[in-house]
Amino acid sequence: MIRSGRLTDSQRKAIDQHWPHYVVDYKAQPLALKSLFPAASELIVEIGFGMGDSLLEMARNIPTSNFIGIEVHRPGIGKLLHGIAEHGLSNLRVICHDATEVLENCFENESIDKILILFPDPWPKKRHNKRRLIQGDFVDLLVRKLKRDGRLHLATDWESYAEQMMNALENVTALVNQNGPGRFWDQPERPVTKFEQRGKRLGHDVWDLLFAKSGL
């Protein structure tokens, strides 16, 4: 489902001007990655990039890597498109569609070097926990799409979700916790997100997880 939200004038203008250049229209077929990016490099995919600030910062700071952001929130897409155009980035593209369908249909198995899911909707009410993105079937899909030795980086500011994430990932034999069994990543290598800043203002801690797909 595409989430419209209220667009600012600048976000609407960015969508109108830059959508054809930086947004990849969803088709249920593998992406032509070689045509999307001028230089072959590691592929980093962020699922649910929100307003896109941290994704834009990563793409600017690591010009030798290629990035694809998946998001259905139009204001966030508009803001990110403005940033991509402003900085003339050729290593970042966007897909506006359901992440599960995009992963399943647009990426070959073992084609992604790193997947980022930073501060997904925590669905904090217990009766809504089943709506959380990080569940067994979805984790299996992530693992299939990761290359051998590829990395999966998750983050949340909800402790119960962090525990669920840890349990879900450590129950997958193909994944190895890069910080040791049951341990979170104390000094994650990523920009601080707006969701993280908001959570800290509310007194929330932050939990990052880094797992790698076993090369066996």
pLDDT at position 1 is 45
Beta-carbon count within 10 A of 9 CB:
8
The residues with which 111 forms a beta bridge, in sequence order, are none
70 forms beta bridges with 47, 95
Give me the pLDDT at residue 22, please. Answer: 97
DSSP states along 130-168: GG-S--HHHHHHHHHHEEEEEEEEEEES-HHHHHHHHHH
What letter does residue 23 receive in the DSSP assignment? B
pLDDT of res. 129: 78
| Active-site amino acid positions | 121
Distance from C-alpha of 182 to C-alpha of 160, rounded to nearest angstrom: 14
Structural domains of the chain ordered from first start: 9-213 (3.40.50.150)
Tell me, yes or no, if the pTM score tops 0.85. yes
Instruction: Kindly state the tokens that stand for 5.
Output: 């939200």
Helix (H, G, I), strand (E, B) or coil at 43: strand
- Stretches in the chain below the pLDDT threshold 50: 1-2
